[in-house]
Homo-oligomer: A and B are copies of this chain.
Amino acid sequence: MQDDWLDKVKWARNGLVPVVAQEAGSGRVLTVAWMNREALARTVETGEAHYWSRSRGRLWRKGEQSGHVQRVLELRLDCDADVVLLAVEQEGGIACHTGRERCFFRKLEEGEWVTTDPVLRDPALIYGKK
């Protein structure tokens, strides 16, 4: 596989770029996560979103535990080549670890971040904890 396209990405000093995942159908912005070179390569190879988990310090196939895989329909790169945009199909309709459709479930209303989106599935069920 030719890697020119990977070289075109301007990785930050920590080797990462931010990645926006947008639901292809609705246009909803689901998540923003981070990729390193390997995560982006695997995303394209497999057609499923892979990220770099900064908290866990490891590569992470989105949905590996939850089953909430993101099938990638389109990848885009911005003008500065330092942000990636994915159009995805979100398996299960749940992208957020809180059991909500998207991570952006809070909206600023009169000086407060108000939760506007319901929990669709209890995270304890998603992640199999008691």
Asked if A59 CB lies within 8 Å of chain B CBs, one says: no
Residues A113 and B5 in contact, CB atoms below 8 Å apart: yes
Asked if A128 CB lies within 8 Å of chain B CBs, one says: no
Chain A 1-18 per-residue mask, 1 if CB under 8 angstroms from chain B, else 0: 110110010000000001
Residue of B nearest to A9 (CB): B113
Q: From B18, B27, B76, B107, give the contact of A107 (CB < 8 A).
A: B76
Q: From B8, B28, B97, B108, give the contact of A75 (CB < 8 A).
A: B108
Q: Which residues does chain B contribute within 8 Å of A32, judged by CB atoms? A: 18, 20, 78, 83
Which residues in A have some Cβ–Cβ distance to B below 8 Å? 1-2, 4-5, 8, 18, 20, 22, 26-29, 31-32, 44, 74-80, 83, 85, 96-98, 100, 103-108, 111-113
> Assuming A74-B107, A80-B103, A83-B104, what are 16 further A-B pairs, CB within 8 angstroms?
A2-B111, A4-B111, A5-B108, A5-B113, A8-B113, A18-B83, A22-B29, A29-B29, A44-B108, A75-B108, A76-B106, A76-B108, A77-B106, A77-B113, A78-B104, A79-B98
